[in-house]
Chain A
């Protein structure tokens, strides 16, 4: 019987997913430092929900549970969704979002390897459309907050929607810089004035830019480990930088500079962790460039002209739809064939 090759040298799917989780750790630490330990609760909640719903669905679909749970893909989805949610998201929001991501976006399409859309972004988009107010209400970073919530306070709020005595929700939340910029621009203010507000940091959001930097660090680790290819982050970052540079050069009073866009919102999480989901992305090198550049451009357009402060989730989902087309038209030249 011919069953060669007899040897392999490949990390298993579990190892790949584990490294992705590892690469997220700096970002999680930065997040917890900036917004408080509540994120750890959110992540745990999402992880448990993801594993339980994945196990139940596998059972219903009569698939082996252990190998599919241990591939850790559900955990990656859970973590990415948790990190995309606002830090003080109530427990049910986390559960609903994760359930949607795992059950609807992944398992109902056939499980690992068969989902055409990024599960975490499907979960996020469902929540954003269904609960826009909660989803856009971010707490001020701890360094700016007048009232600091402790870990236990955050826990109480997440599970019981209860604030410590005498503290109002508004006292701990504020608009995100992307959101603030958008509303202020609509009020005919200019960028230079708007960015003087305390929520703005050196490049992006005050505090938030550290989280973004930590994601960048984790992302570079993934490239070094050859878990993700350089094509996707490079094309996304370049496209976002170029389009924002064009608008900024054209009218700096009404358009933020490229660095602000790169260091705000979910830009870096998107560049290294979200658009790099192999299952829902394109497979050809050229296709990856187009795909990521498309996401960069759509993200920018939604941020500037769309109805939501950040556009990453929708940009990813829109480009997910284009993947079969991109793949079909970007097939590389095969050895010995003409272009």
Chain B
């Protein structure tokens, strides 16, 4: 019906179809509340007495701190440098002294503190040496590499490090640059005011970004509730060929990147692809301006425009240094009216409650709303879902929120994923239109976090299992190697021992002959001594051989002195007894080792069980059967 009316209106107004936007499903029309904060120009907030700079102000890795407590830093000096691919630097917003590097409360939905650098300004506001670039005569790679030190992140609220989005990935060619100036959330006007006051600089920034991306065209998408911004940008964009302003109807969430690309270009980005895969890159207006300032003047990201609105005396936009306490900002806006309960960061559709007013302004802080129960009434108790499908009609992703709710509520996460839970952008349209006041988005956030947590646990378990399997295989392999070596050695020892036995026997007969043929006792004793020494040497050889594989270090150290004295009678029997003893000790040690290994690796088969006693063998075979059983249960479980 509405499309017919639109068509007729177009016919009457004679609009050309080229300005037509490509609609997405659903969307909602919340009251804008934007007029309140657009009556004043953007005001610059004075340098506060203390700046608290959270290290984590962006998506990605926490940057590496480069200063120490007590250091004096200059305005624009890097306090922490980007570490890893996805990371962004943090700079000193003014000159001063680093007072602390410690945990402090940050503006995050969790309400948990995080690492912050506290800077006490010296009031002089002295710049560090800046390095402007002649971007037209620089290589793109150098420019992008430089931008890594700029600290610039997506200022629309996503805070994704900008230098990564400008990097040429070598895969896809960017043909269109989309500038996101839709600002579809109610209350927020920071981009609107920025465009009204800085249109020329934004266009210069667009020129740089377009150059870096190699994009042929640029489209600036602005909602039709910002006529001043539209005219300012249209006038400024005349300076740039292939850059145009396209007005999109006011409809939340037009500012969502995928929705905006669809509105402007009619391209529906596949759910598993990025915009760059279809040749489109999206930047927020404020981000583009920050890029301009960094490239042309060398100024890193030190401040942003923040809308302060809601129940404050003078709702307006401020240029605020990062790290400024929210309380100073609120004071600058004339303080809060009575009944203010708390502050919301972001818009009323996707924002969150700040844990306290003692939090710093960060790169993500586009809007601060002083909330009262009148402005944001607590929702009435939720009623059961009546499947009216208003949520499905409002969903910009064309999901079935009522089904997702059902599956999330009943912890049926598999089904929720089948119904594309992860395509949900948490825009809040479904909750906005729900007659039963069901906090639908909360259910989806819960289900998503549960699924992510479960996946992490599963990945960790898989990794652990893989590692353990590898370890078992390694132990098995080592065991096999050892068993083989042992068998070889055992074979060697056998042959050598028999040789020695022969030698000893020969010695014995020789000695006996000599003794019997010897004339005197003295001679006989001498001969016996010689024989004993020879026997001892042979014995030592045999001992050495026997102990080596079993690693027996002091098998029979006490026996050698005695051997010489009674060699006459016991030379041979002694030798045999000792060999038996050694064999026994070796076997015992082998058995102990086998048992130990068996216990350690839950039933590993010792392959060298030939030399050990029958009881040990029985034990080992018992362990073997246990192990087989365990293996079978595991494999049957896995196959299930």
Measured CB to CB, the residues of A under 8 A from B are 1-13, 15-16, 67, 71, 73, 111-114, 229, 278-279, 281, 283-284, 327, 331-338
B422-436 CB mask vs A (1 if < 8 Å, else 0) is 010000100111111
Contact with A along B390-404 (1 / 0, CB 8 A): 101100111110110
Seed contacts A2-B442, A7-B376, A67-B383; 9 additional CB < 8 Å A-B pairs: A5-B441, A9-B433, A71-B383, A113-B383, A113-B384, A331-B419, A335-B396, A336-B268, A336-B423
B24 CB → nearest A CB, Å = 7
CB contacts (< 8 Å) of B434 on chain A: these are 8, 10
Are B376 and A13 closer than 8 Å at their CB atoms? no
- Determine whether the beta carbon of A7 is less than 8 Å from that of B30: yes
| Binary A-proximity of B262-299 (CB < 8 A = 1, otherwise 0) | 10000011111100000000000000000000000000
**Cβ-closest chain B residue relative to A16:** B435
How far, in whole Å, are A16 and B390 apart by their CA atoms in the complex?
A: 12
Q: Which residues of A contact B442 (CB under 8 A)?
A: 2-3
Which B residues from 364 to 386 make CB contacts under 8 A with A?
371, 376, 379-381, 383-386
Cα–Cα, bound, A334→B376 (Å): 31
**Shortest distance in angstroms between A171's beta carbon and chain B's nearest beta carbon?**
45
A1 to B380: give the CA distance in the assembly, Å.
Answer: 18
B175 at the interface (CB under 8 A from A): no
- Quick check: is B48 within 8 A (CB to CB) of the other chain? no
Complex contact B435–A13 (CB within 8 A): yes
Contacts between the two chains (Cβ within 8 Å), count: 142
Q: Of A5, A11, A112, A337, which one neighbours B431 at CB under 8 angstroms?
A: A5
- In the complex, which residues of chain B have a beta carbon less than 8 angstroms from the beta carbon of A6? 344, 348-349, 351, 371, 376
CB-based contact A111/B384 at 8 Å:
yes
With a cutoff of 8 Å between Cβ atoms, the chain B residues found around residue A8 in the complex are: 379, 431-434, 437
7 A-B residue contacts at CB 8 Å?
A1-B352, A5-B428, A6-B344, A8-B437, A12-B436, A13-B383, A334-B398
Chain B proximity of A224: nearest CB distance (Å): 10
* Chain B hits for A7, CB < 8 A: 30-31, 186, 348-349, 376, 432
A112 touches B386 (CB 8 A): yes
CB distance from B341 to the nearest CB of A (A): 11
Measured CB to CB, the closest approach of chain A to B449, in angstroms, equals 11
Chain A residues closer than 8 Å to B423, beta-carbon distance: 334-337
Complex Cα–Cα for A15 and B346 (A): 31
Please state if A5 and B392 are interface contacts (CB–CB under 8 Å).
no
Interface size on B, residues (CB 8 A): 61
Nearest CB on A from B261, distance (A): 11
- Residue of A5, A8, A10, A114 contacting most chain B CB atoms (<10 Å): A5
**In the complex, chain B residues whose CB is within 8 Å of the CB of A111:** 384
Contact A5 B432 (CB under 8 A): yes
A113 touches B387 (CB 8 A): yes
CA distance A7 to B344 in the complex (A): 12
A335 touches B397 (CB 8 A): yes
Residues of A with C-beta under 8 A to B433: 8-10
A93 to B271, CA, bound (A): 56
> What separation, in Å, do the CA atoms of A338 and B270 have in the docked complex?
8
Contact A12 B380 (CB under 8 A): yes
Q: Which 4 A-B pairs have the closest CB atoms?
A: A113-B384, A5-B428, A336-B271, A6-B376
Nearest CB of chain B from residue A291's CB, rounded to whole Å: 12
- On whether the beta carbons of B30 and A13 are closer than 8 Å, the reply is no
Q: Point out the residue from B258, B350, B381 that lies within 8 Å of A336, measured CB to CB.
A: B258
B566, chain A: closest CB distance, angstroms: 92
Q: With the chains together, A284 CA to B272 CA distance in Å?
A: 24
One of B269, B350, B435 near A10 (C-beta < 8 A): B435
A103 to chain B, nearest CB (A): 17
Interface residues as binary, B534-550 with A (CB distance below 8 Å gives 1, 0 otherwise): 00000000000000000
A10–B391 CA distance with the chains assembled, in angstroms = 10
Question: A residues within 8 A CB of B30?
Answer: 7, 9
Question: Are A4 and B258 in contact, CB atoms less than 8 angstroms apart?
Answer: no
Q: Which residues of B contact A283 (CB under 8 A)?
A: 387, 389, 392, 400, 402-403
Closest to A11 in B: B435
Is B25 interfacial (CB 8 A cutoff)? yes
A13 and B352 contacting across the interface, CB-CB below 8 Å:
no
Q: Residue A13 contacts which of B392, B419, B428, B436 (CB distance < 8 angstroms)? A: B436
Report the bound CA distance from A331 to B419 in whole Å: 9
Q: Does B111 reach chain A (CB closer than 8 Å)?
A: yes
Of A6, A67, A112, the most chain B CB neighbours within 10 A belong to A6
Bound CA–CA A332/B398 (angstroms): 7
| Bound complex: CA A280 to CA B639 (Å) | 41
A9 touches B432 (CB 8 A): yes
In angstroms, Cα B421 to Cα A337, docked, is 13
Assess whether B439 is in contact with A3, with CB atoms less than 8 Å apart.
Answer: yes
State the Cβ distance, A314 to closest chain B Cβ, in Å: 22
At the interface, yes or no: B109 with Cβ under 8 Å from chain A?
yes
Enumerate chain A residues within 8 angstroms of B388, measured Cβ to Cβ.
Answer: 16, 278
Known A113-B387, A336-B269: A4·B428 in contact at CB below 8 Å? yes
Write the nearest CB–CB distance from B386 to chain A, whole angstroms: 5
**Complex CA–CA separation, A16 to B270 (angstroms):** 37
Q: B350 contacts which chain A residues (CB < 8 A)?
A: 4-5
Q: How far is the CA of A112 from the CA of B386 in the complex (A)?
A: 7
The answer, among A4, A73, A331, A334, for a CB contact under 8 Å with B352, is: A4
| Complex CA distance for A337 and B25, rounded to whole angstroms | 14
A337 & B348 in contact (Cβ 8 Å cutoff):
no
Asked if B353 is an interface residue, CB under 8 A from chain A, the answer is yes
B31, B385, B439: most-surrounded residue (chain A CB, <10 A): B385
A279:B387 contact, CB within 8 angstroms: yes
Residues of A within 8 A of B268 (CB): 335-336
A27→B272 CA distance, assembly (Å): 52
Indicate if B445 sits at the interface (CB-CB under 8 A). yes
Cβ–Cβ contact B390 & A10, under 8 A: yes
A198 to chain B, nearest CB (A): 41
| A153 CB, nearest partner CB in chain B, Å | 40
A112 CA / B441 CA spacing, docked (Å): 22
Judge whether B533 is part of the interface by a CB distance below 8 angstroms.
Answer: no
Q: Are B383 and A10 in contact (CB under 8 A)?
A: no
**In the bound complex, how far is the Cα of B420 from the Cα of A333, in angstroms?**
11
Q: Is B351 a contact of A4 with CB atoms below 8 Å?
A: yes
Report B-chain residues with C-beta under 8 Å of the C-beta of A1: 109, 111, 352-353
- B28 close to A (CB within 8 Å): yes
Give the residue among A2, A15, A16 with the most B Cβ atoms within 10 A: A2
Question: Given A6-B351, A7-B30, does the pair A113, B386 have CB atoms closer than 8 Å?
Answer: yes
**A335 and B398 form a contact (CB under 8 A):** yes
The answer, among B24, B349, B383, for a CB contact under 8 Å with A112, is B383
Q: Which residues of B contact A5 (CB under 8 A)?
A: 348-350, 428, 431-432, 441
Q: Which of B22-79 contact A (CB under 8 A)?
A: 24-25, 28, 30-31
Alpha-carbon separation in the docked complex, A7 to B383 (Å): 17
**Alpha-carbon gap, A11 to B437, bound state (A):** 10
Interface centre among A10, A113, A278 (most CB of B within 10 A): A10
A13 touches B386 (CB 8 A): yes
A278 to B384, CA, bound (A): 12
Known: A112-B383, A334-B423. A4 touches B28 (CB 8 A): no
Q: Assess whether B383 is in contact with A331, with CB atoms less than 8 Å apart.
A: no
- Could you tell me the distance in whole angstroms from the C-beta of A5 to the nearest C-beta in chain B? 3
Alpha-carbon gap, A67 to B437, bound state (A): 13
State the CA gap A122–B4 with chains docked (Å): 40
B402: A residues at CB distance < 8 A:
283
In contact, A278 and B376 (Cβ under 8 angstroms): no
The answer to whether A335 and B258 have CB atoms under 8 Å apart is yes
Chain B residues near A334 (CB-CB < 8 A): 271, 397-399, 420, 423
Q: Which residues of A contact B380 (CB under 8 A)?
A: 12
CA A288 – CA B262 in complex, angstroms? 27
Q: Smallest Cβ distance from B270 to chain A, in angstroms?
A: 5
Among the listed B379, B400, B420, which residue makes an inter-chain contact with A284, where contact means beta carbons less than 8 Å apart?
A: B400
Q: List CB contacts (< 8 Å) of B76-128 with chain A.
A: 109, 111
Residues in chain A near residue B352, CB distance under 8 A? 1-4
Q: A1-B353, A5-B350 are in contact. Are A335 and B271 (CB under 8 A)?
A: yes
Q: Indicate if the CB atoms of B271 and A9 lie closer than 8 Å.
A: no
